[in-house]
Structures are given as structure tokens and as C-alpha cells.
């Protein structure tokens, strides 16, 4: 099993920036900042507070990342973004579908890679 450092390096190589999220000095999760190929900013927030998981534990990190990847469908991502008028004016539905399908594939491939 990989270490968190190895996982973070793989995520970084996928051009996703990782920031620690702390409350009162305690690590509670991670914010992963990424962009779709069309340049849409996507923030993945991995929250370890409610599940009482340890953000420094590899298994807990993998569980939370997998949960995030599976929690929102491509349609839901498109709907969420299309609530923004500027986004809606900039992207057709087909462009959104293509872009978020690729982004979803990227996340799923990344999940496979970090889970090896």
C-alpha cells in the first residue's frame, strides 16, 4: 500500500493541488483544487470530521476520495455549474458533457492509481 506522501505525489502529478484544511489547528481534511480540460475550476473537499476518520491514515484517505468520486454524477456536476449564468453562456450542454465526462474519467483513473 502506498504512503500518503506517495499518494499526494501522484495527485500532484495529475495537476491537482492539495491544501490541508484545519480547524483550530487540527487537520480535518483536504481541499483538492483542479481544473477540467476546458478550464472549469473544480474543488474536491475531502472531509474527515463526520466519519471520525483520520486524515493522516491512508485507508481513510482512499475511502474518502472514493466517496467523493462516486458522490456526484456527471449530470449533477453539469447542473451545478449551469446555475452560473457566465458558465451557461460560455459552454453548450454538449461541451459541458464532453468536459465533465473527461474530468470524471480523470478522477476515476486517479482513484485506480492511488489505490494500487
pLDDT score recorded for residue 63? 95
DSSP state of 101: H
Tell me the pLDDT band of 103, cut-offs 50, 70 and 90.
Answer: very high
Which residue, chain included where needed, has cell 494500487? 116
Quickly tell me which residue has 505525489 as its cell: 9
Q: Are 30 and 18 in contact (CB under 8 A)?
A: yes
pLDDT digit string, tens, across residues 29-57: 999 999 999 999 999 999 999 878 999 99
pLDDT on residue 79: 97
Give the three-state DSSP class for 29: strand
Q: Are 12 and 19 in contact, with CB atoms under 8 Å apart?
A: no
pLDDT for res 71? 93
| Distance of alpha carbon 100 from the chain centroid | 12
Q: Rounded to two decimals, what is the model's pTM? A: 0.92
Count of residues making up the chain:
116
What average pLDDT does this structure show over 85-92?
A: 97
Task: Identify the residue whose cell numbers are 476515476.
Answer: 108
Q: Which three cell numbers stand for residue 3?
A: 504512503
**Average pLDDT of span 77-101:** 97
Q: What is the pLDDT of residue 99?
A: 98
Amino acid at each position: 500500500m502506498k504512503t500518503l506522501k506517495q499518494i499526494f505525489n501522484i495527485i500532484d502529478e495529475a495537476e491537482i493541488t492539495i491544501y490541508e484544511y484545519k480547524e483550530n489547528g487540527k487537520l480535518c481534511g483536504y481541499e483538492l483544487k483542479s481544473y477540467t480540460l476546458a478550464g472549469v475550476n473544480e474543488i474536491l473537499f475531502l472531509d474527515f470530521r463526520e466519519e471520525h476518520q483520520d486524515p493522516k491514515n491512508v485507508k481513510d484517505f482512499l475511502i474518502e476520495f472514493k466517496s467523493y468520486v462516486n458522490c456526484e454524477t456527471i449530470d449533477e456536476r453539469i447542473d451545478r455549474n449551469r446555475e452560473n449564468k457566465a458558465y451557461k453562456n460560455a459552454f453548450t450542454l454538449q461541451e459541458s458533457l464532453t468536459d465533465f465526462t473527461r474530468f470524471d474519467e480523470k478522477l476515476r483513473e486517479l482513484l485506480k492509481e492511488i489505490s494500487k
